[in-house]
Every structure is written in C-alpha cells, then in structure tokens.
Structure 1
Amino acid sequence: MVTAVYSHPDCLLHVTPPGHAEQVARIEAVETALAAPDFAALDRRAAPLGDVADILRCHPQRYVDRIRAAVPEEGSVQLDPDTHVSPGSWNAALRGVGGICAAVDAVLAGEVSNAFVACRPPGHHAEVESPMGFCLFGNVAIAARRALDHHGLSRVAIVDFDVHHGNGTQDLLWNESRTLFCSSHQMPLYPGTGAAKERGVCGNVLNLPLAPETGGAEMREAYERVILPAVDAFQPELLLISAGFDAHLADPLAQLEWQVADFEWLTGKLCDLADRHCDGRVVSTLEGGYDLQALAASAAAHVQGLMERGG
C-alpha cells in the first residue's frame, strides 16, 4: 500500500491579513516540497468538505453557527487577537475536517497505509466554544471521535509535537477515556497551558513541557523517557499526529532548536509504535510551522518517513 496526501485548493482561499504568520504561503510551501520527484508515489487525494455532524462530535451547534456567521462576504474579520476569517475560511475549515476524517476512513479501510493532511487553517488550539491561535475547529480531536464513534475503535492515541501546546485538543478530549493525548511543547509560550499536572479526567492527557532552547538531543531523550513509553503502554488501534513544525530552530514564533533530522527521527519512532500496535495505521495533519523553508523541509521529511513505512 501507499501513503495518501489530502489537500484542496480551498485551503488557499483562507486569507489572513498581510504579515500574518498563518498565511497562504505556508500551504504553497508544503505543496511545492511534496511536488518533488521523490514524492511521485504519493496517493494524492482531494480533501472533501467535512460533515457538520462530525464537527458536532466535539463542538456544539451554537459554536458552529457562530463561526459560520462570522465569515464575511469580503475582507477579513478578527475573531480573537490571532484568528481571522475571510470569505473562503468556511470551506477551507471544512476541507481540514473533511480531509482528516477521509484519511481516517481510508486508513482504517486498508485503502492506504497512512496519510498526511496538508490543509489549513490548523486546528489544535480550537477549544469547545472558542476559536484560538489561528484555529477554528479541532480537526485532530474530531478525527479521533470519528474513529471511536463511527468506526468503533476502543483506543486512539494523539501525539502533538507542535511547539505550542494543543490546548484545544486537550479541551475537546479532556473527558474522553478512549483517547490518550500527548503533547510536547515549549513552556513558557502561547497559549500558556500544558503543564505536566494537567492530566485529564481519566488520566488521558500527558503533557511534556520543554524549556526554551531545547535541542534535538534533549527532545529525543524526553520522548524516549515520557511520551513513547506512554503510547506503547496505551496500545492504540490508531495513531493520530498533530504535526506542527514550528519547533524548528528557524521558526520565528518560538525558541526550540530542533532540526529537520529531529522531525525525521520522531516520525520514525511514532511509526514504530504504530507498526507494533495498529498495523502501521497513522494519520497526520498539518498544524504550525511559520518559517517557510523550514516548514517545507520538515514536512517533506515527515511525509518521506510515512512513505517509507507505507510502501
């Protein structure tokens, strides 16, 4: 089998104000990197529009209605200090939801070995009723709930290696005993959550705060000591990844010091766990990463790692 990549031109129509970090050029950089000859074997699929019924597994109808009503006919509307919507934002957000849900369906059906969802806006900061940090809907949490409720899985693990804590995913799954949410992130840093003491109602949350200037060697030791054993013990039937590449040394929004090789190493380790427990079933979705060159190189290394297992 092969690795699938889900994307859609609608994700280019979510337009943020000039100078905004979460810009159209991010997805263009990733798509350019994945257009290289090394990625010719990818199964390229159009991300469908997400079903609101899937969103409602995590967000209430009143929140969905509020986001849709906020989308302007022209220009840009600011939802919080960091999060904006433009006329194309609703469809772009639905492509992110639809892409990751379709990826879960395809991986669980055995159509593809694993998948990467190259859509924007990202999702891991969106809380139950709050858009935050460039995010509108909690894509990876929605995908976890689809795997559990629609496909009948019993255990889904999520690993979030974005440099910012996935507060939204944590909020959406705080009471969900069938999931294990693990997040590594710089602390202190936006959004200010993610302390190790935050464990979820069922002990289903595992936070790994990392000090500024933490490099790859320290990250690898911390993962080997904390997150990888926890996922191994959980024995997931599906592994989801919130793949943010803003822990890279070059990223302008944080101060971790990872290199491309560190994302490659981490992808391999997560795939090892998926091979051990869930027949290699991995679905990864793009979160952060704001230096375009570092984002492109890191995302390419991540997808290359998935392809090595998917082939």
Structure 2
Amino acid sequence: MTTALLTHPDCIDHVNPDGHPEQVARLHYVLKALEGKDLLRLDAPMGEDAHILMTHPQDYLDRIKSSGPEDGFVQMDADTFMSPGSLTAAYRAVGGAVKAVDMVLGGEVENAFVATRPPGHHAETASPMGFCLFGNVAIAAKRALDHHGLSRVAIVDFDVHHGNGTEDLVKNDPRIRFVSTHQMPLYPGTGAPQETGPHGTITNIALSTGTDGDLYRKILANRIIPILRDFQPELLILSAGFDAHVEDPLAGIELSTEDFGWITAQLAQAAADLCGGKIVSCLEGGYNLDALAASAALHVDELIAAGAG
C-alpha cells in the first residue's frame, strides 16, 4: 500500500519572530527533502472546531481564535507566538492529523506523515506552550477512538522534549497508551518517570544528557516495544520530533540521522505485528535545519518501505 504525505502552504504563513527556532524554514527543508519520494501527496484540510473540542474546552478554543493578530505578533506564552497566519496553519495541522487517521483507518493508505506546523505536543488542555497551540496527536487519537470506534491507540513521542501537552490531554483516557522519551532535565521540566497517570497508561522515559544511539536502541527494544506489545494498540501514532539529533541546538541527546531511521523501522515493524501496520506520524520538533531534513527524509523512507512490504 501507499504512504500519504499531508501538508499545506498555509503552514508556511505561521511566522515567529526573527531568531525563533521554530521557523518557517523548517517546513521548507522537510518538504524539499521529501521531493521525488513515492508518496500520495495531499493538502491537509482545515480542521473543524469539533475536532479541537475533543481535547480542548470551548473557552480555550475561543481564546486562540480571538488572539490572532491582523499584523505583527501576539505572544501567547514565553516562547509561543501567533502571527496573522497562525490560526489557519494550526487548523491545517489539526485537519492533517485527522485526515491521516481517516485515511489509514479507512484502508486508503498504509501509513501517513503529517508535515505541518505549528507543532502540537506541548499544548495543554487550556494552555498554549512550547511553540504549540492545539494538541494534534491527541486529537488524532481521539478521532480514532470516538469516530472510528477503536478501543486502543498508542502514542510514542520521540521528540527530545517531554510531550507534556499530549500527556495532559490523554492521561484520563484509559484507551490511550502514551510513551515519551525525552531529555531530563530540559524544557518543559515535566515527564518524571513516576508520572504514570490515573490509569497507569503514561510512561515517561527520562534520558540523560549525552544519551547516544546505542543506548536509545536498547531502550526502544527493551522497554518501548514490550509496552506496545502488552497494550496491543489498533493504531500507532508518532510524535516525530527530530531534536534529539546530535546536531540539534536546543538539547543534548546524541542520536544520528541513521538512528531515526532505525527507530522508525522498529516502530513500523511493531505496528505491522500489532495493528496491521497502521501508523500516523506527525512532525514535532527539530531545529538544526539540515539534520531535521535528513532525519525526516529517512523517517519517511522507512514508512514507505513499511507500507510497501
């Protein structure tokens, strides 16, 4: 079967202040690296308010909708900004994640990569954070459960920062298993291993500065894959952040581009064994442009290989 790529030019119109690490060029570099690959390329549709309200309350949605400026920037928190194009871009990110779930669960494609921005895994129930406005992967999981009738969805977040927003949005739903690997201590300061959620469905794996690919591979094989096997998900969603790369300026984990390919291949094999290969991957972080592009390209190569296998 096919791998879908969902993106949209509107995501270029989300602009942060000069010098901000979550810059427009991130998406340019990723999409350039994916040119020529065997992908079903689709425009990410606009998300709907109903999609966002699966995880965020109405008053929060109203706040975000009313905050977009006509020009310049509005600062939502210490490092999260909205520009005139941000709201539309955020709706495209939500819509892309929802459409990817619909396509994968509808049997149209084997798996999908959603290359949109702003990212989502730091957005909490009622708080924009860490460059994020809406919890895209949590919304995707709720779509799979509540619209498609799945019983179990797993989310694996390999961004170097803890997916605090995703955890906040899914921790009360026992149908969702959330696993996050992240450097600690590091922004946002959450994700301690003892944080397991009210249903024991949260696994936070804290990585020390300097963790390399050999150690990460052992963690994936000996901890993450067994968790997935035990949970038996019907869909695997990935928060695909590439800022654990050794060349990334915002953190101190030392994964190589090839490590991200191996991680993807192993997770794809687990998905093949557990849920018919059904994977939805959503772009999160990655702030060295060349490392981001190379890692995302290899990530997608492995999704394509899994879909063709």
TM-score, normalised with respect to structure 1: 0.98
Cα deviation per residue 1:114-153 (whole Å; 9 max; x = unaligned)?
0000000000000000000000000000000000000000
Is this contact kept in 1: 2:138–2:169, CA < 8 A? Answer: yes
Structure 2: runs of 5 or more not aligned: none
Q: Tell me if 1:241 matches 2:274.
A: no
How far apart in 2 are the matches of 1:51 and 1:304? 30
How far apart in 2 are the matches of 1:57 and 1:267? 28
Residues 73-152 of structure 1: pairs in structure 2 closer than 5 A: 73-152=70-149
Corresponding residue number in structure 2 for 1:29: 29
SS in 1 for 2:238: strand
Q: Tell me if 1:232 matches 2:225.
A: no
SS in 1 for 2:155: strand
Corresponding residue number in structure 2 for 1:176: 173
How far apart in 2 are the matches of 1:131 and 1:106? 28
Cα deviation per residue 1:220-259 (whole Å; 9 max; x = unaligned)?
1112221111011101000000000000000000000000
How far apart in 2 are the matches of 1:86 and 1:309? 38
How far apart in 2 are the matches of 1:292 and 1:207? 27
How far apart in 1 are the matches of 2:182 and 2:40? 31
How far apart in 2 are the matches of 1:247 and 1:264? 13
| Counterpart residue type for residue 124 of structure 1 | H
| Counterpart residue type for residue 129 of structure 1 | A
How far apart in 2 are the matches of 1:99 and 1:125? 18
Residues 25-64 of structure 1: pairs in structure 2 closer than 5 A: 25-35=25-35, 37=36, 39=37, 41-64=38-61
Cα deviation per residue 1:74-110 (whole Å; 9 max; x = unaligned)?
0111111110000000100000000010000000000
Corresponding residue number in structure 2 for 1:155: 152
Cα deviation per residue 1:60-80 (whole Å; 9 max; x = unaligned)?
010000011110000111111
Corresponding residue number in structure 1 for 2:295: 298
SS in 2 for 1:79: strand
SS in 2 for 1:53: helix
Q: State the 1:277 CA deviation.
A: 1.1
How far apart in 2 are the matches of 1:51 and 1:69? 16
Identity of aligned residues (%): 60
Q: State the 1:29 CA deviation.
A: 0.4
Corresponding residue number in structure 2 for 1:221: 218
Corresponding residue number in structure 1 for 2:253: 256
| Counterpart residue type for residue 21 of structure 1 | P
Cα deviation per residue 1:19-66 (whole Å; 9 max; x = unaligned)?
00000000000000001x3x0x20000000001101001000100000
Q: State the 1:274 CA deviation.
A: 0.6
Corresponding residue number in structure 2 for 1:277: 274
| Counterpart residue type for residue 44 of structure 2 | A
Tell me how many residue pairs correspond in the alignment: 308
| Counterpart residue type for residue 272 of structure 1 | Q
Q: Tell me if 1:20 matches 2:17.
A: no
How far apart in 2 are the matches of 1:229 and 1:261? 22
Q: Tell me if 1:190 matches 2:187.
A: yes
Is this contact kept in 1: 2:141–2:153, CA < 8 A? Answer: yes
Runs of 4+ in 1 over 6 A off after TM superposition: none
| Counterpart residue type for residue 78 of structure 1 | Q
How far apart in 2 are the matches of 1:163 and 1:90? 25
SS in 2 for 1:180: strand
Is this contact kept in 1: 2:269–2:306, CA < 8 A? Answer: no
